[in-house]
Every structure is written in structure tokens, then in C-alpha cells.
Structure 1
Amino acid sequence: MAQTEQKVFKVGVVGYGLSAKIFQIPFITATPSFKLHSILQRNPKPESSAPNDYPNLQHFQSMEPFLADPALDVVVLSTTPDSHFPLAQQALNAGKHVFIEKPLVPTSAEASELDRLAKEKGLLICVYQNRRWDSDFRTVQKLIADGTLGRVYEVETHFQRYRPVQRANMLSMSQGGSALYDLGSHLVDQVYVLFGMPNSVSAKLYCQREGRVLSPKDQTVEPDGANLQLAYDSGLVVGVRIGSMSVETRQPRFWVRGTKGSYHKDGLDPQEDQLKAGMKISDGQFGRDSEEWHGRLVTLGEDGKVSDKAFPNVEPVTYTKIYELFGEALRGNGPVPVPVSEARDVLRILEGARESSLTLRTVNLS
């Protein structure tokens, strides 16, 4: 069960790739409720060696001795999505709480099983949907919550880039990979946080690099692009757009339209690029957009005049927040910030999108 005392939880990380190095370990070490305790790296190499980088930690090359460590409290899975289900099962059966990279698992059925097992064992699982703490997304949240835009009736959310060569190790959709699961899990999760479960999804999944569409005539497409339309009872329509061949100097991110105004934002949240460039999370500029990337807010005044102005993001809280909130949940001070039930719903939407493209029909989710 979640513990009420102000315990510091010892954390072990499984995997030592880019995600572990820049998205997990810096935030674990900055969170007061966590202490980095161990790392499991199956094959350390001279150019990438957890034992060399962290000589004072416990180091392992297989799951059994790693999980047998009685001091270990929390397992962070920073591995490929196709490995998440069996590894999470092992960790839960060993009595460890689990923090899992997105997408949680390849299927909603597996998510339900992990949820059942965690509840049976009295343990907590948190899913690393870090982009809930993107500052542009939090800005959209605030504008909607404040009523600045009025009743929102249409949203576009984008993840566009120009990458004409496919990554060699990209997983298939069945493994929890492709643009649909890799990037779609971020975008659809944000839509879910804003508006809840849609009634239906209609989708086209593309391989933009090859000019192919997932359809009854071509069922082997692994998408590098996607166009989803999520529909709600209120009349709200949300377009989720993913692209790999977008040639732009300013890639679109958000376009939110309501009865009283609209908000437009280009460019991705800077945290990922800042981390890759070596910026420390303690840096005062971490998570902050430069002025040239401020969004635009257009509003209709009571006098009927339209105002158009630059609109900077809200004050960043950064990806540290998900770790802080999970630590507090483990201490019994609040809910898990991204529970399995929400990640399962997101997977249901992604599965519906895949079905829609394959069958050429709208898929009912309600």
C-alpha cells in the first residue's frame, strides 16, 4: 500500500539509453522523495556504461537479482514498449512500485491486466506522460479553464517534423511503436486531459515517406504520419496531426478556436531539446520559450473589436512535476499523476484509430 510516512524511496532504472539518461535520471536525482539506487544495463559498453557513469550505485545485468534487492522500492522502466508488460509484471510480482515510459504497453488489454495486478498487490503504477507538463499545453489548459476562448468547438494539435529517413530500430504498431504510438500517445493523452474520452475516432494512418495509407488494400503500412478526428457530444472536433515530411520553418503545434477567441502556437515545448543539448534542469531558462516562439491570442471584446497579441506561455513547472507528484502519491499524499486507467483509455483511442484506417469507417468509443 502507499506509505504515509515521509519516506525517501529507492529507485532502480531498467535500461540505460537516451530516455534513461536525459528524461529519467536527472529528474529522479532532483526529486526529494526519491534516491537513485540502482541501474540495470544488460550490456554496458565503453561509450555507454552505467557502472562507469555512476560507480557508487548498485549495478545489474538481469532482472532477477535486480528485483531481489530488498532495498529497492520503485522500478523505472526505460525500455522499449514491447518489453513493458512482462517487465512490469515481474516488478509488481516482486513487490515493487512501477514508473513506466509511454506508451504504457502495446494494447489496452495488457494495460487492464497491469491495473488489476497492481491493485491486487497494493502497489502503484505511474505512466510517464511527461508532455502533460509542456508549458504550451498548460497554457492551452489555462485559456480553456479561464473561459478566455469561450466554448471551444475546434482544436488542432500537431507533432510535425521533417525526417525523410526512417529510424532503423523503429518498432511496429503491434509492438507499441510507429508514429501512432510513439507520438500519438503524447498528443492523444493531452486531448484526453483537456476533454476526456471522445465519442468516436475517424483516422487515416500514412507512411508519408512512401506514399502509402493503411487500408483494406494495404494492411502492412507502419505509419510515420497520422490524421485523427476525435468527436465529442458537445460538437467539439479535435484534429490530431502527425507528420514526418513537413517542410516548414515554423512547425504548427496548437490551434484552438472558441466562440470568444482563438489561440495559435508554433514550435514544440523546448524541454526535450534543452535536455539533449545538456541544459541542467536547475537552469533558470529550462522549459522557457524564447520570445519569437510565443503564441498568438485573438479575442473578441465586448465592444465587438478583435484583439490580436503575442501570448507567452504560462510559468513552466517542467517535467520535474510528474516525479514530485508520484513521490507524494507513494507517500499517501494524493493520487498517481498518470494512472494506468487513463493510459488505457488513450490506448483505446489509438486502437480505434488503427481500426478506423483499416476499415475505412468511424469507430465508436463510447
Structure 2
Amino acid sequence: MADSTTKSTFNVGVIGYGLSATIFHIPFITITPSFKLHSILQRDPANSALSAPRDHPDVKHFTTLDQFLDDAALDVVIITTPPQTHFSFAQKALQAGKHVLVEKPFVPTMSEADALINLAKEKGRLICVYQNRRWDSDFLTVQKLLAGGNKLGRIVEFETHFDRFRLEKPTSWKGSLGIDQGGSALYDLGTHLIDQIYVLFGMPRGVFATLSSQRDGLLVGPQNPNLDPDSFTVQLSYDNGLIACARAAVASAEVHQPRFRIRGTKGSYRKVGLDTQEPQLKAGMKTSDANFGREGAEWNGKLTLVDGNGNTQEQDCPNVEPETYSKIYELFGQAIIQNREQDVPVPASQARDVLQIIEAAKESARSRREVQLS
């Protein structure tokens, strides 16, 4: 493979051809100037509901990993398969000299994350983890609120939610893959929510978690240590007194589901409803549409500020101008051009930190005590 610093456009190959590839990756690969969709690995397109050769006849198609990785023209590998495959696929891609972007959750364990980080350094290649929800417009709005000159003062409580009313278990890997293989709501949705807290506040001092199956009416604990949770509350504590909670539920019957709630010494912010990009993409909206990533005014957040006399005033807080999920691809392309790990938008080292929090949450739920992080 040519030295990345001599190229400005890179051939991208996608492993897997399900919802992740078709909705969250390929639409953005095709609009990123530094990337070109080059190949797709789908093991059995003839017997799949989605067929990569039918949908993308102008790119290369493979059914085996070795042949896919043996293509000398391939520069970047995108891994969109279920979590238990991520480590082996990423390891083989790095060994073949490819840069790698891995869907979340990165890998099931910290030890696997460390092994891939070390291998990438050895091979001089970059790993990015697809934490696309760092580019949700509501989260970008929260980041702006909490930036320099914070309108809300010192933050004392922070909540980030993915709550739904879904009493039927998914038929995909999300409903069957065990927690120790990177399955369950903790790895699926928790990875996003904990990552958002990590981006804002860094590593916590302590982790206390309640993991449950609301569908079955069971808690993870000493009697059910290996239960696969569909719901969770993960509470992160910080030395400055901040309590940050990541929460997800499947038995939440709300018209306007909670998304963010933030309390500070000068005010508060609350937001309902999920970012629009996922439902827009699933509905077939093009990333070039003028309304892509934009919410209606009825979904505006609410900002309450306290003046010097202790009076409160509530106002609408619209989302900031959307950057959309295209940003993670744009930034990763730039990082590859420069071959600089510090430019990777979501480096594997940060994903490893989030895995440390997740592993502490599992330990906390099983022991029913707070776990301290060094």
C-alpha cells in the first residue's frame, strides 16, 4: 500500500452489508472527498435480504476475508459486523497494512482494545471508532452550552438518555448476543451515552450501575451475574461533586422521550427527542437534503437561567447548525492524509477508556457496589 502521505484519496472497503453499512457508512463514504468506495465483503449476498453486488455494481465484491484483504489497492477497512467479530477483523486488517474504522462498540474488552492499539502503532496505521453520536446536533448544542463562559455555571447533575417503549426483543444480534461478547444495551446504547459523558467531563472517579432486563423483570446481581440487560442506569461520580448518569430503558411509554437534563449553579437545560439523522437516513433522506440533521422548532431544548436577583427565566434553545455524521469521515480522511494519530476524530485510546467505564459498570452491577477507577 502506498504511503498515505503521498495520496489524497483512499480506497475504502466495507466488511458487512447490513443496516450499519447501508445506512450509517456507505452514504457518508460516497460524499467524503478523501474516500472512494472500492469494495464490499458480504459472505452470502445471494441469500441475503440486502445484496451488495445488486446495489453497488461498480465496486469490487468479495465473499471471503482473505481475498478482500489481499487486494493491494485497498487502503481503509470499515468494520460493520457484530461486536464479537470486531477484534479478529480489525487485527487481520491492521496486519494487512490497512487503516481501520470500527463500528461501536469497539471490542468487548479493554485487553482486546490494548492489543489493537499496540498493533496499529507497530504497523503505522490508524484506528478510528465510529462514535457517530458525538455529531448529534443536540450533543453539539450541549457542548456549546458547557464550553468557555458556561451559561449554566458549575454543573452538578448531568443526564443523557436513550429511552424507548420496545417490549419485544430485537431479532438481530442486539437481542441475542451476550454481554461478554459486546452485546446487550450496555454495549449498544451505553457505549454512545458513556462516550458523551467522557467527552464532556473525562474519566470519572467512581462508577455505580444498575443493569436490568425490564422485559423479564430481572436485575443483574449476585444471583444473576450473567444476565444480558436491556436497560441500565450508570452513575459516574467526579471529584468536583458532579454526578453524571447514562440511562436507557425499553419500558418508557412517553410521547416526548427525555434526552438531556443538565443542572448547574446558574441554570439548567433539558431536551427531549432523539437526533433526527438516524430516522431520516432510514426513511431514505439523502445526506445532501437541506433538512438533513435538522429538527422542527417543537423539539427545541429549554434553557432556564437565573439572574443576579435569583429570578428564573425559561427560553427556547434551538440546536446549533448540524455538522452531521459526515464529520467523522471527513476528519478521519484528514488524519490518514497526515498519518497523525492525534488527528483521528475518535481514537482507539478513547474507546478503550469508555470500555474501562463499561467494565466497571458490569462489576458494579454484579457486586451492587460503587467501583473506584484509578
TM range (shorter): over 0.9
AA partner of residue 112 (structure 2): E
| Residue correspondence of structure 1 range 167-178 to structure 2 within 5 A | 167-169=170-172, 170=175, 171-178=177-184
| Residue correspondence of structure 1 range 186-335 to structure 2 within 5 A | 186-332=192-338, 335=343
Cα distance in 2 for partners of 1:47, 1:98 equals 26
State the SS of the aligned residue for 2:369: coil
- 1:154-196 superposed Cα distances (whole Å, 9 cap, x missing partner): 1011110010011133211111010000000000000000000
Cα distance in 1 for partners of 2:283, 2:312 equals 40
| Residue correspondence of structure 1 range 3-152 to structure 2 within 5 A | 3-45=4-46, 47-145=49-147, 146-152=149-155
* Pair 1:342-2:350 in alignment: yes
Structure 1 unmatched ranges of 5 or more: none
State the SS of the aligned residue for 1:4: helix
1:6–1:150 distance in 2 versus 1, CA, 3 Å: farther
TM-score (norm 2): 0.96
Cα distance in 1 for partners of 2:368, 2:328 equals 38
How far residue 119 of structure 1 moved from its aligned partner, in angstroms, is 0.3
Is the contact between residue 136 and residue 314 of structure 1 (CA under 8 Å) also seen in structure 2? yes
Cα distance in 2 for partners of 1:303, 1:284 equals 43
Is the contact between residue 84 and residue 105 of structure 1 (CA under 8 Å) also seen in structure 2? yes
Q: How many positions carry a matched residue from both structures? A: 366
State the SS of the aligned residue for 2:305: strand
How far residue 2 of structure 1 moved from its aligned partner, in angstroms, is 7.2
1:62–1:217 distance in 2 versus 1, CA, 3 Å: same
Partner residue, 2:371: 363
TM-score (norm 1): 0.98
Q: Which moved more, 1:21-30 or 1:41-50?
A: 41-50
Is the contact between residue 97 and residue 123 of structure 1 (CA under 8 Å) also seen in structure 2? yes
Cα distance in 1 for partners of 2:243, 2:270 equals 16
Cα distance in 1 for partners of 2:115, 2:83 equals 15
How far residue 307 of structure 1 moved from its aligned partner, in angstroms, is 1.3
AA partner of residue 93 (structure 2): A
Cα distance in 1 for partners of 2:106, 2:91 equals 12
Cα distance in 2 for partners of 1:220, 1:183 equals 18
AA partner of residue 203 (structure 2): M
Cα root mean square deviation, aligned: 1.2
Cα distance in 2 for partners of 1:328, 1:111 equals 23
State the SS of the aligned residue for 1:105: coil
AA partner of residue 70 (structure 2): A
AA partner of residue 140 (structure 1): V
Q: What fraction of aligned residue pairs are identical, expressed as a percent?
A: 58
State the SS of the aligned residue for 2:146: helix
Cα distance in 1 for partners of 2:107, 2:310 equals 49
How far residue 112 of structure 1 moved from its aligned partner, in angstroms, is 0.5
For residue 353 of structure 1, the aligned residue among 341, 361, 368 is 361
Partner residue, 2:165: 162
Structure 2 unmatched ranges of 5 or more: none
AA partner of residue 64 (structure 1): D
Cα distance in 2 for partners of 1:215, 1:304 equals 44
State the SS of the aligned residue for 1:331: helix
State the SS of the aligned residue for 2:4: coil
Cα distance in 1 for partners of 2:345, 2:225 equals 36
